[in-house]
Amino acid sequence: MAIRVVVSGAGGRMGRHVLKEVINAADLELVGGVDPAHLGEDLGILAGMSPLGISVQKDLVTTLRASKADVMVDFTTPMVAFDNIVAAVECGVRPVVGTTGMGQAELERIRELCDERDIGCVIAPNFALGAVVMMHLCKIAAPYFPQVEIIELHHDQKIDAPSGTAIKTAEMILSNRSGGSEKDQGQDFVEKVKGVRGGNFGGVQIHSVRLPGLVAHQEVIFGLEGQTVTIRHDSFSRDSFMPGVLLAVRRVGAIKGVMYGLEGLLFAD
């Protein structure tokens, strides 16, 4: 039986890509889409394909219940993503979420709700499989390099900074260190231009770039006396995120609670 999918943020750039991929997947069925900015438009047309006869709706809860969805894919904004996830869980629908920018309190509340309802949820800062590998390699390198800086580069329409990928990368690096701290990042600097050294996340400096022409890119530079190691990933097209999205849609039904990041689906402990 096909997995029934509703896309929240159906008219956005990522949403349209997801629509197309779900329509083309034999084991998935697109049963609804929500996006107030594209109310009434045909989902097939939004995906750049033939009309499906399914129109974009405004209310998520009504759409989830009427469509009998199994999975909700959300690519919206940090301002509405939390409410969308709560709505999906309360409807018994498993969320697969690529929206970043939610706070720790919101993530903890989502964990509580999923545990209470015994329902799975995947929230991934980055669905590009190469980016997941990049973060995994950074975690492996972390114990050997006490100093590291992250440069993340995204399109100029991305509203949160630093990116969820950069924060997740820093968390993974810090989780595999013994005694790493802010003092490991070298001497104090005099910033002649405020913020020029980026932001400090637990001792990891993060620099955010926002420019037209970019999609999603991250470079992690580890430094040690006489040497550096650079690990970089580039997404040149939003197509790069689709294999990860489809993997999560297909696997979320077997997950209990919240999986944050795709590494749990790619790498064994």
Domains, the chain, ranges and CATH? 3-123+239-266 (3.40.50.720), 129-236 (3.30.360.10)
User: Do residues 40 and 30 touch, judged by C-beta distance below 8 A?
Assistant: no
Judge whether residue 180 has pLDDT over 80: no
Residue 157: DSSP 8-state: T
pLDDT value at residue 190 = 86
Question: 46-55: b or e for each residue (b if 16 or more CB lie within 10 Å)?
Answer: bbeeeebebb
Judge whether residue 23 has pLDDT over 50: yes
Structure token digits, residue 109: 């509340």
Question: What residues are paired with 260 via a beta bridge?
Answer: 123
Residue 154: DSSP 8-state: E
Summarize the confidence of residues 56-62 as an average pLDDT: 96
Strands 216-224 and 147-154 come out as: antiparallel
Active site residue 158: yes
Summarize the confidence of residues 91-108 as an average pLDDT: 93
Summarize the confidence of residues 214-239 as an average pLDDT: 96
Phi–psi pair at 216, nearest 5 degrees: -150, 125
Active site residue 217: no
pLDDT value at residue 40 = 96
pLDDT value at residue 183 = 45
Summarize the confidence of residues 11-26 as an average pLDDT: 96
Q: Report the Cα–Cα distance between both ends of the chain, in Å, rounded.
A: 31
Catalytic residue, from 38, 139, 154, 217: name it: 154
User: What pTM does this model have?
Assistant: 0.86
Confidence of residue 102 (pLDDT cuts 50, 70, 90): confident
Q: Which ranges in 68-128 belong to alpha helices (H)? A: 78-90, 104-117
